[in-house]
Structure 1
Amino acid sequence: MSQPDLHTTHQLPSERRIIAEIWPALLASALGLLPFTVLSTFLVPIADWAGAGYAETGTLRGLAGIGAVLAGVALAPLIGRIAPGTVAAAALGLMGLAAIVGTFSGLAALAVFCLATGVSNALLYPALSTAAADRFGTTPAAGRAATLVMTAQTLASTVGAPLLVLPALFWGWQGNLVAIAVLSIALIPAVLRYGRRGAGHAGDTPAPARLGYLAAFRTLAGVPGARALLLVSFGRAGAFMGHLAFLAPLYAQKFSLDANWFAFVWSVSGGAFFLGHLLAGRMLNTEDSPARTRAVMVISLGISLVALSGVYLAPVLPLAVAGTAVLSASHAVVSAAVMSLLVSRCTQVRGTALSLNAAGMSLGLFLGTAASGAALAGSGYLAAAAVLCALTLVALASALTLRTPSPAKTLERQP
């Protein structure tokens, strides 16, 4: 049966049914972001507990980025060779152990916590997205399932901090980490069952071949547009995360916002990203429409350039907040579009593609934050904005190089 026939003969399941199929992945995705949410929310008491300065403790988060990039690149083909549910279960186990280590006193324990959590996330999210997509074979529902996994992550980033504050009043931030460890271990059996290959709706579609380590990279390199999509992710993550890293001081200096009022701005940004990702994932995966997905991605990157400039040049607070919301929503749409195109194009090497995509975003986060921070220190906020715009242009130029080959040609180039 040809690829076009596969798309036309499958009736798309409802979103409720997709969620019912992949609920373990959604829970694990939301849980994976909580360890670092604890670190960010309770940075002051954690630093005091470790006997270190706040800046010194906060910079340990960089170890997570390093671990994520190295693990994401080095272990990417293994997500194709090993059942993704097994990889996700191992990542949950590592995250649980890291959370327990994080309760120990001292910078060394926190360094291990950050590094191990970064490695676990580098494995967890690509594996969960791959397992979700594999349950629906090569139908458009595969892309929707994968984007829902990342939507759950964005929801956790939006509501995670408020939800963690209340239980911490009873058992402290250490209790939060212990609870995360318990939930991580408890989810392992469900993730293992959910992530078995050949489950769900993919039963009439052959499971992807388990390629060798180097063969997985070679196969991915032969997928039309794969490298361009990975560059889009790198540039987008660098621009967006570099922007978020210094958003609080920008609002404090330009509009004299204190921490309480900035929390509202942060919620607006997180809410816009969540809604943008949720709606884009639904819109872009209702039918096989790679041309439309590419067009939406290009338009959203253009909008993000305008919104980014607006945030830094806005003369009044309401315009800056509106620009922040539009910027977050447009980046969410681009993120969902990249995920949808990678899932649909890289059917033979989904795990490898999604792992490298996550590693590219981690690298973009690290370089985008470092470059914009250096520009800010040297020449102020407009220089930082110029760096972020340059990273957005990298993503836009890469998106413009994408073509929309026929599904048959895509399959021919994937052995």
Structure 2
Amino acid sequence: MNDHREPGEGTQRDHAVRTTENTTPTTRTGAPAEPLPSDRRIAGAIWPALLASVVGLLPFTVFSTFLVSIADATGEGDAAVGALRGLGGVGAVLVGIAVAPLIGRIAPGRVAAGALVLLAAASVVGTLAWIPALAAFCLLIGVSNSALYPALSTAAADRFGTGPAAGRAATLVMTTQTLAATLAAPLIAFPALWWGWQGDLIAIAVVALLLTPVLLRYGREAHVTGEKRPGYFAAFRMLAAVPGARPLLLVAFGRTGAFMGHLAFLAPFYTDEFGLAPGAFAFVWTLSGGSFFIGHLVAGRLVNTTESDERAHRAMRISLLTALVALFAVYMAPVLWVTLLATAALSASHAVIAAAVVTLLVRRCGAVRGTALSLNSSGMSLALFLGAAVGGAALAAGGYLGAATVFGLFTLLALGAALTLRSHTR
């Protein structure tokens, strides 16, 4: 018997049909509807999206890891070349907003495939040791990622309809991205011993192009079953009408500004306060990244084991309060080990918040979940830029406690938005 299916295809279709049949208006009681598939089973169904999420991180990892070598090759200073990285954020914000509705109208797998082609082209351009080429590289990678990650999360969620497994699939994409961010630097440094940073970029381009036809197969998948896709401007209007969508986007914005602004000055803080050398600080960075990964991995599953939004709401609010306390503990702790514990707690708390936001957006937004995830990504890119810029100004004016105050205000903004959320019924 020739019964060929893509991984997870049967379970996705069956689950989507059951979900569609059971969407008569009822109040969520918190009882699990059906057992959540194992992470291994979900990952087996969405492995192309997980692999692509790793590839998307690699170009900027190469740029950051080999910044000194790249600057030497261009004949420019480290600061001048490093500043080009900001172009990626600009591209991510503008393009992410512009393409947001298209991730609903065009199959997200096709959007992701197109983003990978652009990423491959940008990686080849980045091999040229020339400032205009590197500026184009940074801008194009930012543009590519602004479409890639929302599309990957949407494609992963769509394979499981609208139930808890859809939310878990979307969070696994971000969990994999987090793990890659922690491990990517040593992974790209090793082969660069043979072919240099330019060889790394060429290898990334090749892998991206090999993944493109695989992701195009996602383009033939049904989106969320039974839902008509809105027009371009209608998608924004529909998203605005989704209960809690705007507060969730504000939570993501505030928590990203706080956390990414904090990370921007973490190395100098540990150097100034505790005299840590770069080698010793690598442990701190691994601790922070590992805590975020574990927090996101665990939280992404826990908030998706029930149909109720209450668990995600509660986890989000508790984690925001924990993050606020941990933030000031980092900057005010009298000894190193307390600061390290606070650093880990801060990262884990933000991971829980991020997982809860993505889960709730996937659950609530239905036909415009791609639009929601794209706007979420753009908002976080803007928050990253603002968090670092305003945090830097506060650091210059009031030292590390001044910076902590600014990051605390970002956190309070997110907490205020989270407190306005109410349980959603359908």
TM-score normalized with structure 1 length:
0.95
| Alpha carbons 1:294, 1:399 under 8 Å: kept | yes
Which of 382, 394, 403 is the matching residue for 2:422?
403
Please give the alpha-carbon distance, in whole angstroms, between the structure 2 residues aligned to 1:145 and 1:406.
22
Which of 355, 371, 376 is the matching residue for 2:374?
355
Which of 116, 119, 137 is the matching residue for 2:143?
119
| Alpha carbons 2:261, 2:407 under 8 Å: kept | yes
Please give the alpha-carbon distance, in whole angstroms, between the structure 1 residues aligned to 2:219 and 2:379.
24
Identify the residue that residue 249 of structure 1 maps to in structure 2.
Answer: 268
Query: CA deviation digits over 1:80-130, x for unaligned, max 9?
Result: 111101000000000000111100011111110000000000000000000
Identify the residue that residue 384 of structure 2 maps to in structure 1.
Answer: 365
Identify the residue that residue 64 of structure 1 maps to in structure 2.
Answer: 88
Residue 250 of structure 1 aligns with an amino acid whose one-letter code is F
Identify the residue that residue 392 of structure 1 maps to in structure 2.
Answer: 411
Shift of 1:195: 4.2
Identify the residue that residue 179 of structure 2 maps to in structure 1.
Answer: 155
TM-score normalized with structure 2 length:
0.92
Residue 294 of structure 1 aligns with an amino acid whose one-letter code is H
Q: Is the deviation greater in 90-99 or in 286-295?
A: 286-295
Q: Is the deviation greater in 252-261 or in 281-290?
A: 281-290
Shift of 1:49: 1.0
Please give the alpha-carbon distance, in whole angstroms, between the structure 1 residues aligned to 2:38 and 2:222.
20
Identify the residue that residue 264 of structure 1 maps to in structure 2.
Answer: 283
Shift of 1:8: 6.7
Query: CA deviation digits over 1:54-94, x for unaligned, max 9?
Result: 11111111100100000111110011111101000000000
Please give the alpha-carbon distance, in whole angstroms, between the structure 2 residues aligned to 1:347 and 1:27.
25
Matches within 5 A, 1:60-209: 60-198=84-222, 205-206=225-226, 208-209=227-228
2:402 equivalent to 1:383: yes
| Alpha carbons 2:308, 2:423 under 8 Å: kept | no
Identify the residue that residue 413 of structure 1 maps to in structure 2.
Answer: none
Identify the residue that residue 55 of structure 1 maps to in structure 2.
Answer: 79
Shift of 1:9: 6.1
| Alpha carbons 2:255, 2:350 under 8 Å: kept | yes
Shift of 1:332: 0.4
Please give the alpha-carbon distance, in whole angstroms, between the structure 2 residues aligned to 1:346 and 1:85.
18
Please give the alpha-carbon distance, in whole angstroms, between the structure 2 residues aligned to 1:297 and 1:290.
11
Please give the alpha-carbon distance, in whole angstroms, between the structure 2 residues aligned to 1:9 and 1:372.
44
Computed over aligned residues only, the root mean square deviation of the Cα atoms, in angstroms, reads 1.4
Identify the residue that residue 238 of structure 1 maps to in structure 2.
Answer: 257
| Alpha carbons 2:119, 2:208 under 8 Å: kept | yes
Identify the residue that residue 322 of structure 2 maps to in structure 1.
Answer: 303
Identify the residue that residue 410 of structure 1 maps to in structure 2.
Answer: none
Identify the residue that residue 69 of structure 2 maps to in structure 1.
Answer: 45
Q: Does the C-alpha gap of structure 1 residues 295 and 106 become closer, same or farther in structure 2, counting only changes over 3 Å? A: same
| Alpha carbons 2:322, 2:349 under 8 Å: kept | yes
Please give the alpha-carbon distance, in whole angstroms, between the structure 2 residues aligned to 1:405 and 1:105.
52
Please give the alpha-carbon distance, in whole angstroms, between the structure 2 residues aligned to 1:43 and 1:21.
37
Residue 339 of structure 1 aligns with an amino acid whose one-letter code is V
Residue 308 of structure 1 aligns with an amino acid whose one-letter code is L
Structure 1, gaps ≥5 residues long: 408-415
Residue 173 of structure 1 aligns with an amino acid whose one-letter code is W
Shift of 1:377: 1.5
Shift of 1:146: 0.2
Which of 260, 284, 292 is the matching residue for 1:273?
292
Shift of 1:10: 4.8
Please give the alpha-carbon distance, in whole angstroms, between the structure 2 residues aligned to 1:322 and 1:11.
35
Please give the alpha-carbon distance, in whole angstroms, between the structure 1 residues aligned to 2:218 and 2:180.
21
Please give the alpha-carbon distance, in whole angstroms, between the structure 1 residues aligned to 2:44 and 2:218.
11
| Alpha carbons 2:107, 2:218 under 8 Å: kept | no
Identify the residue that residue 236 of structure 2 maps to in structure 1.
Answer: 217
Question: How many aligned residue pairs are there?
Answer: 402
| Alpha carbons 1:10, 1:139 under 8 Å: kept | no
Query: CA deviation digits over 1:265-294, x for unaligned, max 9?
Result: 000000000011100111111121201110
Identify the residue that residue 320 of structure 1 maps to in structure 2.
Answer: 339
Structure 2, gaps ≥5 residues long: 1-20
Residue 114 of structure 1 aligns with an amino acid whose one-letter code is C
| Alpha carbons 2:33, 2:307 under 8 Å: kept | no
Please give the alpha-carbon distance, in whole angstroms, between the structure 2 residues aligned to 1:33 and 1:196.
26
Please give the alpha-carbon distance, in whole angstroms, between the structure 2 residues aligned to 1:144 and 1:30.
18
Shift of 1:197: 2.8
Q: State the percentage of identical aligned residues.
A: 63
Please give the alpha-carbon distance, in whole angstroms, between the structure 1 residues aligned to 2:23 and 2:229.
20
Shift of 1:315: 1.0
Identify the residue that residue 16 of structure 1 maps to in structure 2.
Answer: 40
Identify the residue that residue 3 of structure 1 maps to in structure 2.
Answer: 23
| Alpha carbons 2:154, 2:370 under 8 Å: kept | yes
Identify the residue that residue 10 of structure 2 maps to in structure 1.
Answer: none
